[in-house]
Structure 1
Amino acid sequence: MTLTRDHFSLNTLQWITVSLGDSTGDPGSVGWEFDRPSFLARQPIVLGQVRDAGFSSVMLEVLPTQTLQAYARVVADSGLKVTPGYVHIGLPEEFGRDHTGDDEAHFRWFDGIRRRAEESLYLGLDRVFLAADMAPGRPRIDEAAASGHAFDAARLDRVVNVIGEAAEVLTAEGVTPALHNHVGTWIETEAEYDHVLDAISPSLLAAGPDIGHLAWTGTDVVAWVAAHADRISDLHVKDMDLALAKTAREKKTPYFDVMAERFFLEPGLGDVPIREALAELPDDFGGTVLIEVDKPSMEPFESAKTSWAWIAENYPAAPTEAHR
């Protein structure tokens, strides 16, 4: 198919993970800034740089420190559009919650899912990426990343149940969930991802892969996209050093030890066959291709401009798109 530049959007990770990986990786301590009140003042600047880099859209990300209405105003002021955001759900028992016999507590476990449905619909979106939450203790973060570490078939089936319930909640609100894989979660490897997709009806759950994270686990992402193309509603793409990824898997390296290396790269600077994978999408693909640089290899604004330059070099302007 022929993707155009209008298919592409950006997640603003560049601006909040510059130092992430230099220490423990704990949110709020080494660069993860979305949850800090101080980021409110930076948000309009960041969105302006996304626009000035060349992008016309950005991933939906309402800050926990702002109202939905305030976020909508900031985005409108930036001149950007929003594209599908991201929501995750964990296993209650791994977070110290026993919902046995407590229907109300179990119902409330999905409140965050409902809020993201509300955010999506308010901003005119009807799709969202749905992922498993990082498990406390983080064995796939702190012990070994991208290798299916500590696999447990029964636990994966529990993940299927919870993901399925979350998908039902979203679908009931008119939002289509797309299953998202992520290194560090219980849906990490190709086999785990496919297991969940096979267990839940396509009518309830689309596919929303991160082909960078799949490549990190050693998956042939071109073949994977080709095999699942008709189920993909939207996808994340990222580039990385796949030789480093292979070495890190073999050595059972923790997530943030890998991230501390020059591992994540702007599109076109690494080894992930992004263009070849995207070429396997169906001709009528109408979703979003979300560019992510989990940790930039250069200054954030330069990273965004480099990312857009790769898009502009490889994909044509949409027929109705004005020249930038």
Structure 2
Amino acid sequence: MAAAHQPLPTALDRIRVGSAPDSWGVWFPDDARQVPWRRFLDEVAEAGYAWIELGPYGYLPTDPARLTDETARRGLTVSAGTVFTALHRGPAVWDATWRHVAQVAELTRAMGARHLVVIPAFWRDDKTAELIESPELTSAQWRDLATGMERLAHQVRETYGLEIVVHPHADTHIDGEANVARFLDATDPDLVRLCLDTGHYAYCGGDSVKLIETYGDRIGYLHLKQVDPAILATVVEQGVPFGPAVQRGVMCEPPAGVPALEPVLTAAQGLGIDLFAIVEQDMYPCPPDQPFPIAQRTRRYLRGCGA
């Protein structure tokens, strides 16, 4: 009797897989504990990825001609830039926010990318993890956040031809299911879509497949990430801030964690649109030799999922 054949994974032909400096332990433009940018570019290409994000502005070269040369000769293409905003603080922060956004958007457009990933401000200090403002927004702050993000989306589109995708993130005001739903319901779907980060959403108690099924028309971009459920349970129980939680290994290599990525990718494929799915495994800080073999194994795993 012939041996039974395992079914081949469904081809995820609408999913464009890439990686990012974050998967190499890069959180800041310049930090002695981070992998140098040339090594990141060499290794991300060798690991089998064709798409990358810019990471924190200033980590990769900011001269478009130089960056184009560096990426092109490695067979890499930029999928998005990333900006940080604190729009819940109201109109007073607009000018400073736009200066930062314009700088990143200019480079993003010059590199041929179409997306700008927008991360809300942390309510903890990103280096010391100290509490710097309330984890809860007032009704007025929610209005400022929603209207500010719509204004940002409109101006980025009109000025640079880019689309923003807002990234729910641990230790920010747009984090788990309730706050993500509140944010989406308060913003114009023609202007504001999400970058669904599967790891951050799971970290905050959310179900990525449910979010895709409920708000499919608002999903514009993916970050692929998993959390270690045992470490997460301890982190939640002890109230550990996100930065120290990362140092404990709360974000882990797939397929060891949650959520399972195959159902997420299948649900995303079902949306019928082209989506970037950028691997991000938060590991700051990490030994310089740690990221590359993980990146290789993760790329093989995602190919096995059909991506």
CA shift for structure 1 position 37: 8.9
In structure 2, the CA distance between the partners of 1:226 and 1:106, relative to structure 1 (3 Å rule), is: closer
Out of 294, 297, 303, the residue aligned to residue 303 of structure 1 is 294
Q: Which runs of 5+ in 1 are unaligned?
A: 18-31, 100-104, 317-324
Out of 41, 44, 68, the residue aligned to residue 63 of structure 2 is 68
CA shift for structure 1 position 11: 1.0
Aligned to 1:26: none
1:219-278 superposed Cα distances (whole Å, 9 cap, x missing partner): 122211211222211111101112322332233222233222232112212122221122
Tell me, yes or no, if the aligned pair for 1:113 and 1:169 is still in contact at 8 Å.
no
Aligned to 1:239: 226
Q: Which runs of 5+ in 2 are unaligned?
A: 1-9
Does residue 268 (structure 1) correspond to residue 255 (structure 2)? The answer is yes
Structure 2 counterpart SS, 1:196: helix
Aligned to 1:11: 20
Aligned to 2:98: 110
- TM-score under structure 1 length normalisation: 0.79
CA shift for structure 1 position 54: 1.2
In structure 2, the CA distance between the partners of 1:143 and 1:305, relative to structure 1 (3 Å rule), is: same
Aligned to 1:156: 142
In structure 2, the CA distance between the partners of 1:141 and 1:218, relative to structure 1 (3 Å rule), is: farther
In structure 2, the CA distance between the partners of 1:113 and 1:143, relative to structure 1 (3 Å rule), is: closer
Count of equivalent residues: 289
Q: What is the RMSD computed on CA atoms of the aligned residues?
A: 3.1
In structure 2, the CA distance between the partners of 1:255 and 1:263, relative to structure 1 (3 Å rule), is: same
Alignment of structure 1 residues 1-324 onto 2, 5 Å: 2-4=11-13, 7-16=16-25, 32=27, 34-36=29-31, 42-61=36-55, 63-64=57-58, 66-69=61-64, 70-91=66-87, 93=89, 99=92, 106-135=94-123, 141-142=129-130, 150-154=135-139, 155-173=141-159, 174-281=161-268, 282-295=270-283, 299-315=290-306
Q: AA paired with 2:209?
A: V
- TM-score under structure 2 length normalisation: 0.83
Structure 2 counterpart SS, 1:243: helix
Tell me, yes or no, if the aligned pair for 1:82 and 1:123 is still in contact at 8 Å.
yes
Q: AA paired with 1:74?
A: E
Tell me, yes or no, if the aligned pair for 2:189 and 2:218 is still in contact at 8 Å.
yes
Distance 2:149 2:190 in 1: 14
Distance 1:188 1:37 in 2: 30
Tell me, yes or no, if the aligned pair for 1:5 and 1:311 is still in contact at 8 Å.
no
Specify which structure has the higher proportion of strand: 2
